[in-house]
Structure 1
Amino acid sequence: MAGITNFVKRPGLGRQGRLIKIKTNYFEVKFLPNFDIYHYDIIIIPEVPPSLNRKIFQTAAERTSYFGGISPVFDGRRNIYTANPLPFDNVTTFDVTIPEDNGVSAGRRPPRSFKIIIRKVDIINMEELQRFLDGRCPISNNIITGIMAFNVLINNKPSILYNKIGDSFYINQDSQPLYGGIEAWQGYFQSIRPTPGKMMINIDLRTTFFYESGNLVQLIAKILNRKSVKDLKISDRDHIKLEKFLKNLKIYTTSLGSRRRMKITKLTKTSASNTKFDIDGQQIDIASYFQNIYNLSLQYPFLPCVVARNKTFLPMELCNVVNGQHYMHKLNNKQTADSLKFTCKPPSARANKIEKGPNILNYRNNEHMQQFGLRISNECAVVQARILPAPELHYHPSSRNASFVPNNGSWNLRDKKVATGATLGSWACAVFGSERNYPMRAVQLFLRELITTCQDTGMNIPNKTPPILHCNHQGDIERSLRYAWIRAGNLAKLQPQLILCILPDIRVRLYVEIKRVSDTMIGVATQCIQGKHMFAAKKQYCANVCLKINAKLGGMNSFINPSQIPFITERPTVLMGASVIHPALCDDRPSIAALCASMDAKAFRYTASIRFQTSRQEVIADLAGMVKEQLKTFYMTCGRKPERVLFYRNGISEGQFNIVLEEEIKAIKNACQSLDITYRPTITFVVVQKHHHTRFFPIDNKDSDRTGNCFPGTVVETTITHPFEFDFYLQSHSGLQGTSRPTHYHVLLDENGFNPDSLQTLTYNLCYTYARCTRAVSIVPPVYYAHLVCSRARFHATGENWSDTDSTSEGPNYAVIKPELLRVMYFI
């Protein structure tokens, strides 16, 4: 079996923890075809979007003479698959004609003709796919194509019946109106996946957003938050907002003898009664034109007109919004809150809805599936899981219950002192607001409560009266912070350690500017606090702030019993976590890569490296340089070279595993040897995936927490995992609301000889070491920190616009973070 995979074969199954049975959102494929599948390439000329491609193909498929009674399945682009060969040798060509706008036109344009060229590509061998599932052969192009064919097969019918966005299908009946003229639609994601011995279909709920359909005037009233259409008075600001919202929206009219669809290009600057154009040498306004030509008296002549294709002017009240148009703009805070109420379903409700998926997606009566012989279970798969025990946590020995095992993934700081308290001697408080809104007395009372809490929690704060400065939140932020920094240093006669910033509200722009200036221009840690928390200084809130401050200043909040992380404590070992974040699809700003590495034997303290690289590039371009920086810092901190490296890599898809194995692992080894040609620490490289659709549902109430989710520590390594590679799902956190998402860990390289128990337990235990809170987190902390560093690096852009509108046209320039901050956990 040697050579069956480039990655790590599963070294067995874990045994630690309590065995339970849970449901997952996977459905077993009961029967796969035992005959070959035929793959064809299809070209439709002229080129059109996938949605129209499907209409063209459907028209062709309804003519049995073209395909000889065979029902091919089509991916909407270039591929079709059949269970039997089509009735031609290698290539065929024919023409298809479809009516304009799917038959709703009034005949202004003739039907459209398309040329279709179909060419035979390959025959997919199903027997090889089954051998792969049984772990008897490596993956091949034939197997990959076979899995693609089945995905096209299960998606073919829903693509015709429902609104398809990306890889999901949305149903108009299952929707919820949101604020501002949009609505949330819920639908289904489905994907066929290889698992040990069989194929499974992963079905999950998905939600996305659409423009509300109906009359355009009613939509505009909702966009502008007017109670009724009578209240519509379009200001210049409203006009800009509407034009941005409505641009490229598809509309149709029903009052003018046609239902032809058109796209909005812009709005007129003037109202329908004041917008004039020439007709037969005479000037006439739009309202009068529709009165004279169509005998239509406009109800809202004071509204601007829509400008559609070919410079067609249409009064808004005659326009209707086409149903099912995807809304792709960023949601505002109210829309986000409303959508969460709609989407955040408890596990039992989510499971019930997922179990309806096979019927809604039409598995049983699907003629295409029947032709391919595919049979699918209607019940969620039940899998074996284990609940791993929580680790023992340690606080300062003077704490009450200094050592304890957390219950259900969370604990509190009551009567506890941090394991190592930092000293805060040189600091200042910058209040971004007027003294009238934030009186000096109120600020002093808050600082007294914060200082008391920090000292009770084990920090040392000799300077209890830091300078307090009121700053203009709309003024020169850099100047204000520099002045606070100088005041702190002068008063304490020490290098300033921290600027505490009190913000008037959650203004993104102010917060971003504070972090940009402190990180890249001054080189001092900052801790931001919302003003509303200052006026109600609860001890729990102050304790959470204390955790962040202590970690930023080099303290240690808590640690795991060293016997429970022997891989780290027995020999010098570095944990590394890497992440890359990308700009939006329509944005060409650089991608940001970050690497965080542990600097102590308790795996609490981390330092960071950051790089900016080509937009949307997933592989980290200068990983060798980043690893080299972290290895040097480890040596300077610990006095020894790490003998072992455990590297967690976030966000890699399965299709990128090979290139990451080749390039990033090579970069890690090159970094080691660039320091010393003989330096070869053993490396374990684990991919961490959070963006997937696997969910766990408890069967027995005793196996669920108060939110109905599985308990922290639930691990699954059979039935729904890879047929033979070393991967597992771990739900390490307790649920807060909705259905928790486990994290998928996949080992690509293992020179350290982990077995399932040792890697799963270590990974789970590390989730209790996250510095910012007293909860086990959902993803291993080195990766969590790397993601925080990436997100913070976005703030280091000059020329960036952090409102809800697009960034500046010139694009941002990224400043470099001060070196002294890279050696501390400034990002916490």
Structure 2
Amino acid sequence: MKAADQWLLHQYSVDFSPVVDNPRARHALLRAHSEILGTPMAFDGMMLFLLRRLDEPVTRFQTKRRDSDDIITITVTLKNALPPTSPTCMQVYNIIFRKILGLVGFEQIGRNYFNPNAKREIQQHKIQLLPGFITSILQYEQEVLLMADVSHKILRTETVLDMLAEIEQTKGAGWADVAKRVLAGEIVLTKYNNKTYRVDDIDFNIDPMNTFDKLDGTKITYAQYYRDAYGLNISDLGQPLLVSNPKKRDQRRGMIDHIHLIPELCTLTGLSEAMRSDFHVMKDLSVYTRITPNVRMKELTNFIGSFPRNQEASTYLQKWQVSFEAQPVRINARIMDREKILTGHQGKNEISLGENAEWSRDLRKDLLSCIGLHNWLLIYTARDSKNAMEFLNAFNTVAPRLGMETRPPLICELRDDRTESFIRVIRQNLSLQTQMVVCILPTIRKDRYDAIKKFCCLEAPVPSQCIVGRTINKKQTVMSVATKIAMQINCKMGGELWTVLIPSKMLMMVVGIDSYHDSATRGRSVGGFVASMNHDLSRYFSRCTFQHTGQELIDGLKVCMTSALRKFKEINGKLPERVIIYRDGVGDGQLPAVVEYELPQVIDTFRMIGTDYSPKCAVVVVKKRINNRFCSLNQGNLVNPSPGTVIDSVVTKPDLYDFFLVSQSVRQGTVTPTSYNVIWDNSGLAPDSMQSLTYKLTHLYFNWPGTIRVPAPCLYAHKLSFLVGQSLHKEPRIELADRLFFL
């Protein structure tokens, strides 16, 4: 984004006497006096921004409210003259840009803008797809840049009332409770004003014929209000109302009452869990959403090119004396050397990687370290008997090839598939020598899976492996499936699959931290903590902690860190000399808390271990949900960057130690990079070494023979917190902590 030479923005405070609380009224009163203030102007409700400097530092004028005879005195006071790179200017640029988006035909839904005239109907799935763009203007390393990416808003064509009717028809007497559970937390769109709301409850005691108080104090029914305000007639006057709690920014504006919504006028956004697990839905959506770098760039350049083509938008930009370049910024990136995957005893076997950084076809030899499977249970129902035997034969064939020594399992065949039957037979046959419990389940049922995991992780600590019957019922794929399961079982018992060359001469521990909400307790989340225990970064120790909304995660993480350091010393004979912590699951709003509160607590944890213990340390915040996209130019064609591509200039922040890493390869669409922000560093690692270590760690996730988007300890921490948040709801037994039992 470019501003004209000598561009200067004047910032004014605006006071209304008597006070005007309504933001829309404040805007209207100010706009009515544009002959005094001049144009262009931008007003955020408190501050006014003008390119011109008013004649006097303080300007007063009076105006009359439209809805009364009250005389309002408006005082405009000069506060600052701001250059184009001022942080405050970034806010104004974004205000200007949002206005431009409206002028070229985009509508705001939530935080982003979409083109309603280009919507696509996917009728077979009752879905609408609105194309749009995610945008933000910020100061980057050298200049102010517009970050833009293609986005899509998924809307369902059926209303919430349609969904309630379907639930009532299928669930019978207890349908109201089911409806509350299904809709709680869902985001709905009110098409009459394109606003989104989170559903917190359903109030079955009120309907559209109930009244509420308008701003002027008069009462009106919901039905009459929507008829008067939007010309909408509500057909079902007996429907219950949805309840949405005001957002934090609304609460700051004084809105404390619940918001009531009419189901008939609301549509759900996004995909349901059933839709996400439906292959056909996801395939049909991907035609529009998974676009190649070439198509993505074409859409973005057309988008930016639409501004000068639109007369109103072009005039508005000229008034503000700003412009946008038609072509994206070019960056010099680096590609790190391809890693070699080390397998076999002490890493004697090397696997050279191709351009896709994936090695599934090369895992034909011994794994890095194997645990003998001598005492284990194989449990299945009578209907899965044939599949179970074919799986066992395949398992016994592939396991020795991987270096795993196996003995026959204790076989338990069940007459029925009741959850109680699985738990009973595990309890009856489990002994202190049991290394693994393998259950072949006839169908996917969360309650049964949760019960097995609770028993094996909480009551009787033993690694467990659940297999859905249909995954092993095809002869042509059973060997491949058995190989993957054998590797997973080896990990869960404490074995290691592979590693990469770790050149560090110092004894180092790498920690991954992530969090996941607890599905059983509202307002509570689970913090997963996973720490490496050896030089090869292939053995791990895990703990988890619980936190409630507003509570700092690190309160429990101090216990986790202390346990990990003591375990590390027990295994290695001494404490780590260097600790690298990768902190995932941190939103933008939580970053200050991590820096100001969590970081000092980590340092205190080191002191708790010993007054003279002060390891070299770095804390890196990992951010996956970003909108930055990068493309490589290959013989005039735009393609995805190669795995190992690092971007650490031009589009990084001037006041941060940050970088982007493309670590994985994708078969469809455009690859998403990961952002890394090093918020604390006395590790002694140069930036190149920090980036190299980060890339190496993306090779070490044992559930996938390829690189992943984040360092492996982060994904291990996510898997742990997901298992606890979804199934266990308690911390797993400490006896399992030195194994990857949660894979």
Q: What TM-score does the superposition give when structure 1 sets the normalisation length?
A: 0.72
Which letter maps to 1:717? D
Q: Distance in 2 between matches of 1:670 and 1:528?
A: 40
In structure 1, what is the equivalent of residue 646 of structure 2?
715
Superposition pairs of residues 378-417 of structure 1, within 5 angstroms: 378-396=326-344, 402-412=350-360, 413-417=362-366
Say if 1:233 and 1:672 are closer, same or farther in 2 by CA, change over 3 A: closer
Match of 2:120 in 1: 176
- For 1:649, the equivalent position in structure 2 comes to 583
Name the residue aligned to 1:544: 484
> Where does residue 660 of structure 1 map in the other structure?
594
Segments of structure 2 that go 5 or more residues without pairing to the other structure are 193-200, 210-234, 243-261
The reply to whether residue 144 of structure 1 matches residue 59 of structure 2 is no
Number of the residue aligned with 2:413: 469
Output aligned runs, 1:7-18, within 5 Å: none
Distance in 1 of aligned mates of 2:116 and 2:74? 34
The residue type equivalent to 1:576 in the other structure is V
d(CA) in 2 for partners of 1:419 and 1:520? 29
- The answer to whether structure 1 residue 190 and structure 2 residue 135 are counterparts is yes
Q: Distance in 1 between matches of 2:668 and 2:73?
A: 50
- Counterpart AA for 2:478: K
Say whether residues 1:350 and 2:296 are aligned partners.
yes
User: In the superposition, relative to structure 1, how do residues 167 and 642 fare at CA in structure 2: closer, same or farther (>3 Å)?
Assistant: same
1:209 deviates by 2.7
Instruction: Say whether residues 1:731 and 2:676 are aligned partners.
Output: no
Is the 2:240–2:263 Cα contact (8 Å) retained in structure 1?
Answer: no
Alignment of 1:301-380 (within 5 A): 306=239, 327=269, 330-333=272-275, 334=278, 338-360=284-306, 365-380=313-328
* Corresponding position: 1:125 with 2:82: yes
Q: CA deviation at 1:720?
A: 0.8
Distance 1:695 1:67, change over 3 A: farther
Contact 2:42 2:48 in 1 (8 A): yes
1:508-561 CA distance string (max 9 Å, x none) = 443333323322222221112221112124322222222211111111101113
Q: Distance in 2 between matches of 1:248 and 1:779?
A: 31
Aligned to 2:466: 528
**Aligned positions of 1:480-495 closer than 5 A:** 480-481=422-423, 483-489=425-431, 494-495=432-433
Q: C-alpha separation between the residues in 1 aligned to 2:671 and 2:473?
A: 34
- 2:682 and 2:651 mapped to 1: Cα distance? 26
In the alignment, which residue of structure 1 is the partner of 2:195?
none
What percentage of residue pairs aligned between the two structures are identical? 20
Classify the secondary structure of the residue corresponding to 1:776.
Answer: coil
What's the counterpart of residue 227 of structure 2? none
Whether contact under 8 Å (1:176, 1:342) holds in the other structure is no
8 Å CA contact 2:347–2:368 kept in 1: the answer is no
AA of the residue aligned to 2:603: K
The code of the aligned residue for 1:73 comes to A
Q: 8 Å contact 2:189–2:269 — kept in the other structure?
A: no
Aligned with 2:717: secondary structure? helix
Q: Please state how far the C-alpha of 1:818 moved relative to its aligned partner.
A: 0.6
Greater displacement, 113-122 / 650-659: 113-122
1:581 and 2:538 aligned = no
SS of 2:467's equivalent in the other structure is: strand
Shift in Å, 1:712: 0.6
CA deviations 1:627-658 (Å, max 9, x no partner) are 11110111112111111111111233556544
Q: What does residue 695 of structure 2 align with?
A: 764
Aligned equivalents of 1:210, 1:113: Cα separation in 2: 44
Equivalent pair of 2:188/2:269 in contact (CA under 8 Å): no
Question: Aligned partners of 1:448 and 1:113: how far apart in 2?
Answer: 87
Partner of 1:823: 738
Aligned to 1:747: 678
2:487 alignment partner AA = L
Q: What does the per-residue CA deviation read over 1:384-411, in whole Å, with 9 as the maximum and x for residues that have no partner? A: 1122111111111699964434542101
TM-aligned CA distance change 1:626 to 1:504, over 3 Å: same
**Residue of structure 1 equivalent to 2:503:** 566
Q: Does 1:203 align with 2:148?
A: yes
Secondary structure, counterpart of 1:786 in structure 2? helix
Q: Following TM superposition, by how much is the alpha carbon of 1:242 offset from its aligned partner in structure 2, in angstroms?
A: 8.3
Aligned letter for 1:498? M
Aligned to 1:789, the other structure's residue is in SS state helix
Q: Does 1:84 align with 2:52?
A: yes
Displacement of 1:600 in angstroms is 0.6
Q: 1:29–1:376: 8 Å Cα contact kept in structure 2?
A: yes
Distance 1:770 1:32, change over 3 A: farther
Q: CA RMSD in A?
A: 4.2
Structure 1 CA distance for aligned equivalents of residues 548 and 654 of structure 2: 35
More moved, 349-358 vs 602-611? 349-358
Answer yes or no: is the 8 Å Cα contact 1:596–1:608 preserved in 2: yes
Q: For residues 15-45 of structure 1, give each alpha carbon's deviation from its aligned partner in whole angstroms, at most 9, with x where no partner exists.
A: xxxxxxxxxxxxx546586313315468898
Check the 8 A contact 1:169/1:188 in 2, yes or no: yes
* Alignment partner of 1:70 out of 27, 39, 53: 39
1:402·1:416 contact (CA, 8 Å) conserved in 2? no
Q: Aligned in 2, Cα 1:675/1:367: closer, same or farther, shift over 3 Å? A: same
Post-superposition offset of 1:693: 0.8
1:816–1:754 Cα change, 3 Å: closer
Q: Is the 8 A contact 1:661 1:748 kept in 2?
A: yes
The runs of 5 or more residues in structure 1 that have no matched partner are: 1-27, 99-110, 130-142, 227-231, 253-263, 276-300, 310-318, 798-813
1:772-783 correspondence runs (5 A): 772-783=703-714
**Equivalent in the alignment of 2:562:** 628
Distance 1:692 1:208 in 2: 16
Instruction: Measure, in 1, the Cα distance between the counterparts of 2:526 and 2:116.
Output: 37
Q: 1:790 aligns with which of 711, 721, 732?
A: 721
Residue of structure 1 aligned with 2:629, choices 691, 695, 703: 695
CA contact (8 A) 1:645 1:682 kept: yes
Change (3 A) 1:117 1:530: farther
Normalising by the residue count of structure 2, what TM-score does the alignment of the two structures yield?
0.80
Cα drift, residue 381 of structure 1: 1.4
Q: Which of 1 and 2 has higher RCO (CA within 8 Å, sep 6+)?
A: 1
Q: Decide whether aligned partners of structure 1 residues 566 and 234 sit closer, same or farther in structure 2, where only a CA change above 3 A counts.
A: closer
CA contact (8 A) 2:492 2:740 kept: yes
Q: 2:248 maps to what in 1? A: none
Question: CA offsets, 1:704-761, max 9 Å, x none?
Answer: 8xxx422111111111112253221110111132211111112222212222321212
Aligned twin of 1:425: 374
Residues in 1 aligned to 2:704 and 2:595: alpha-carbon distance in whole angstroms: 34
- CA drift of 1:78 comes to 5.0
Number of aligned residues: 675
How many angstroms does 1:615 deviate by?
1.5
For 2:240 and 2:702, the matched residues in 1 are separated by 55
SS of 1:384's equivalent in the other structure is: coil
Secondary structure class of the residue paired with 2:631:
strand
Pair 94,542 (structure 1): closer, same or farther in 2 beyond 3 Å: farther
Structure 1 residue 150: Cα displacement: 2.2
